[in-house]
Structure 1
Amino acid sequence: MSSSLRRGTLAAAVIAFSIASLAACGAGNDAQTQEIKPDNAATSVGVIKVQNALVITQPDVKATGPAVISATLFNNGTTAQTLDSISVEGEGTAQLTPASGKGKLTVPAGGSIVLGGKGNASAALTSPSQTVLNGSLQKVTFSFSETGDVSLGAFVVPAESYFTKWGPSDIPSAPASPATSPSESATGSPSPSESASGKPGSTESSSSEATASASAEQ
């Protein structure tokens, strides 16, 4: 196993508990009392804190679907701030979608929001390149309306096991089975040689039946 994959496995094991704890309380109003010291990516600038930051890829390494950024964002200030963008170094800017599906993504004053997972806001990299490797560390920058840029290194993990519910909602389905070929669709139909072999329905069989009927009448 490569060192990068070992790092990814270790990171996934260490951070699972801290993400679960944060997700359970991330939607409340008292962000100060919700804070948990995580073992994974976390940082703060001014009144903004970012915890449990991850880049979660498709469960199948051969898949070409989107990757998502998962994190919990705290605002310990007295004024709400909007999250204007999230960028991953070398990958560009993620597509942000609030939990409501429209409008700006806002972190309330004295509150927090969760990115990733059912019913939460989302941040997706629609076409991640091959540099987003499982087990690697990617620089992720969160840009807020008042605080500005908040950057940190986030582990890249696949949407497997615990991380399935935090990973991409758009997962490519398995390739469809090949269509039946003309030769296969005709299998089972009598061939010309079979039609002349005396099997029911053949010309020879009909002639034999006619002869037998004539003999019976005589």
Structure 2
Amino acid sequence: MSRSLRRGVLAATVLTLSIASLSACGAGNDAQTLQIKPDNAATTVGAIKIQNASVVTQPEADAKGPATVTATLFNSGTKDQTLKSIKLTGTGHAAKLSPAKGSDKITVPAGGSVVIGGKDNASAVLENGRDVVKDGDAQSLTFDFSETGEVKLRAYVVPAKGTYEQYGPSALPSASGSASPSSSASASASASASGSPSGSATPAGSATPAGSPSGSASGSPSAGR
């Protein structure tokens, strides 16, 4: 075997041993840490799986108002589970939960799922959202379920724009109030329009021209007598 060939075999052997050593280290106590994704908006604990979790704030950066938590909850167990709360971990702030229908709690049925956020879905609202979360952050959330208990994950904080527009909070309350001038204007316009025809009917209803000839005709013979 030539000297150059022996050198190549030796180098390949050393590289193989190095890779094997690194693999052995990765299989130790730190192997699980390589799989941790703190900013991932999905997690599974027991029968509960949470996907697509996010915190959606007002669309404009300077807008004050609530924020919403959006997520899809899956229950692979054999028992229904109630979502007891959604909290901003370590802050003392919690979202106000409302089911899609009725006044009962949000329940994730056995073998089913529940969507939080968006039209006709359950909702989780954070009052004064701008004061407790910041766009661009990965906010730690704690979902508390009746059977599984607490499930924690990090969710991105994003404004209600683009894809998140349909899942976010409504615009500022003043925006909805601006509709009152237009409605009052339309009401006054319709009132004046309806009043005008009824008022114009008065001249048409007065029979002054027709009454005048009849009056003079009846008066003329009596004067002749």
| Pair 1:101–1:159, CA change in 2 (3 A) | farther
The 8 Å contact of residues 56 and 67 in structure 1, kept in 2 or not, is answered as yes
Q: What is aligned with 1:102? A: 103
The higher radius of gyration belongs to 2
* Matched-pair contact (CA < 8 Å) for 2:58–2:170: no
- Give the aligned length: 140
CA distance in 1, matches of 2:82, 2:171: 25
1:113 equivalent in structure 2: 114
Q: Return the letter of the residue paired with 1:82.
A: T
SS of alignment partner, residue 131 of structure 2: coil
User: Shift in Å at residue 128 of structure 1?
Assistant: 2.3
Partner of 1:147: 148
Q: Distance in 1 between matches of 2:124 and 2:171?
A: 12
Normalised by the length of structure 1, the TM-score is 0.60
Please, which runs of 5 or more residues in structure 2 have no aligned partner? 1-38, 179-225
Deviation (angstroms), 1:169 = 3.5
* Identical columns (%): 56
1:58 aligns with 2:70: no
Give unpaired runs (5+ residues) of structure 1: 1-38, 177-218
Q: 1:96 to 1:70 in 2, by over 3 A?
A: same
Matched letter for residue 78 of structure 2: T
Relative to structure 2, which stretch is displaced further, 123-132 or 108-117? 123-132
Q: What is the DSSP-based 3-state SS (H/G/I as helix, E as strand, rest coil) of the residue aligned with 2:174?
A: coil
Corresponding residue for residue 170 of structure 2:
169
d(CA) in 2 for partners of 1:169, 1:100: 19
- Cα distance, 1:88 vs structure 2: 1.0
Q: Contact 2:65 / 2:130 at 8 angstroms: preserved in 1? A: no
State whether structure 2 residue 76 is matched by structure 1 residue 83: no
Structure with greater helix share of residues: 2
CA 1:153–1:46 in structure 2 vs 1: closer, same or farther (change >3 Å)? same
In structure 2, what is the equivalent of residue 122 of structure 1? 123
User: Normalized against structure 2, the TM-score is what?
Assistant: 0.58
- Partner SS state of residue 133, structure 2: coil
Q: Give SS of 1:96's match.
A: strand
Alignment deviations for residues 6-37 of structure 1 (CA, whole Å, 9 cap, x no partner)? xxxxxxxxxxxxxxxxxxxxxxxxxxxxxxxx
Aligned structure 1 segments of 4 or more residues deviating by more than 2 angstroms: 128-131, 169-176
Cα distance in 1 between the residues matched to 2:169 and 2:140 = 19
